[in-house]
Structure 1
Amino acid sequence: MDDRQFRNAMGKFATGVNVIATEVNGEVHGMTANAFMSVSLDPKLIVISLKEDAKMLNKIKESNRFSVNILSSEQQEQSMIFAGQKKVEEKFEFDYLEGVPVVRDSLAQLSCEVYNEHVEGDHTLFIGKVTSLELQDGEPLIFNCGKYRGLKEMEKAII
């Protein structure tokens, strides 16, 4: 199998959309990601996966803290900004949760400390210990087959 075929197969798995954020020397850095999952309740651990050449990788190693922001169906623009798909004139304004930058109005904001890290293939898996979280009601932003989708759109596809 070639790389494109593998990517297409992985794209069949519908995922939520997250923005990962951290702060180094007073400068906030963010990136869109969908490689995220919960790992443990005790202790409360999550995992994110970053490609070895991602700029965010060294930023998280340096800060040892990051946030995971689970985006709502109304935050496609924010996802596109942090995926480098959309340019903005103004500087993006972050809120803070326990001193870690978070994306305002996300369905969930998780403040994390790096608990462990593992290099696997061409990615580093960061295990994050969740130190605080904030929740809001709403519908999640979903990514499937290379497109943004909402739950209602996914429900119609199933029926």
Structure 2
Amino acid sequence: MEDRQFRNAMGKFATGVNVIATEVDGEVYGMTANAFMSVSLDPKLIVISIGNHAKMLERIRQSGRFSVNVLSCEQQEESMIFAGQKQVEDKFEFERLGDTPVVENALCQLSCEVYNEHTEGDHVLFIGKVNDLVLEEGDPLIFNCGKYRRLEALEEAASK
């Protein structure tokens, strides 16, 4: 099968949109990602997947920590900025959660330290131990079939 066909197949799976952030030598870096999931409750572990050629890969290795910021449906602009799809004149301002930079108003901010690392194919999976988190109310930003989307509640089936 061709790479494009495989990418299109994977795009059929709707995902949330996240910004992964880390800090190296006082400089904060972020990237948009959707490859994220929970792994364990005890200890509290998550996993992110970073491409072998992404600049973020070495930055996370250097810092040993990162945040995962689950974006709200009002944060498409933030997603586009960190995906390199939109340029901004001013430097993006991050908040802090402990020692970790986080995106303001994200639905969920997870502050993590690298717990383990696995190279699989052309990506590296970072297992992160969650040290702290902040939750907000709202609906997530969704990505499906190459487009940003919003959640829409389905009507519940009528009682029989």
Which TM-score tier does this pair reach, normalised by the shorter chain? Answer: over 0.9
Q: Which structure is higher in helix share?
A: 1
Counterpart residue number, 1:95: 95
Matches within 5 A, 1:115-126: 115-126=115-126
Counterpart residue number, 2:3: 3
Q: What secondary structure, in the 3-state scheme, does the structure 1 residue paired with 2:60 have? A: helix
**2:88 aligned partner, one-letter code:** V
How many angstroms apart in 1 are the aligned matches of 2:143 and 2:104?
Answer: 20
Shift of 1:155: 4.9
User: Per-residue CA shift, 1:100-155, capped at 9, x if unaligned?
Assistant: 00000000000000000000000000000000000000000000000000002x85
**2:109 aligned partner, one-letter code:** Q
Counterpart residue number, 1:18: 18
Counterpart residue number, 2:149: 149
Q: Identity of counterpart residues, as a percentage?
A: 75
Q: What secondary structure, in the 3-state scheme, does the structure 2 residue paired with 1:19 have? A: strand
Greater Rg, structure 1 or structure 2?
A: 2
Query: Cα 1:106–1:12, aligned 2, differ >3 Å: closer, same or farther?
Result: same
**1:130 aligned partner, one-letter code:** V
Matches within 5 A, 1:1-159: 1-152=1-152, 155=154
How many angstroms apart in 2 are the aligned matches of 1:74 and 1:8?
Answer: 26
User: Per-residue CA shift, 1:41-93, capped at 9, x if unaligned?
Assistant: 00000000000000000000000000000000000000000000000000000
Q: Between Structure 1 and Structure 2, how many residues are aligned?
A: 155
**2:148 aligned partner, one-letter code:** Y
Shift of 1:99: 1.0
TM-score, normalised to structure 2's length?
0.95
How many angstroms apart in 1 are the aligned matches of 2:151 and 2:60?
Answer: 31
Q: What secondary structure, in the 3-state scheme, does the structure 2 residue paired with 1:110 have? A: strand
Computed over aligned residues only, the root mean square deviation of the Cα atoms, in angstroms, reads 1.1
How many angstroms apart in 2 are the aligned matches of 1:106 and 1:99?
Answer: 17
Structure 1: unaligned runs, 5 residues or longer: none
How many angstroms apart in 2 are the aligned matches of 1:155 and 1:131?
Answer: 35
TM-score, normalised to structure 1's length?
0.96
How many angstroms apart in 2 are the aligned matches of 1:62 and 1:132?
Answer: 20
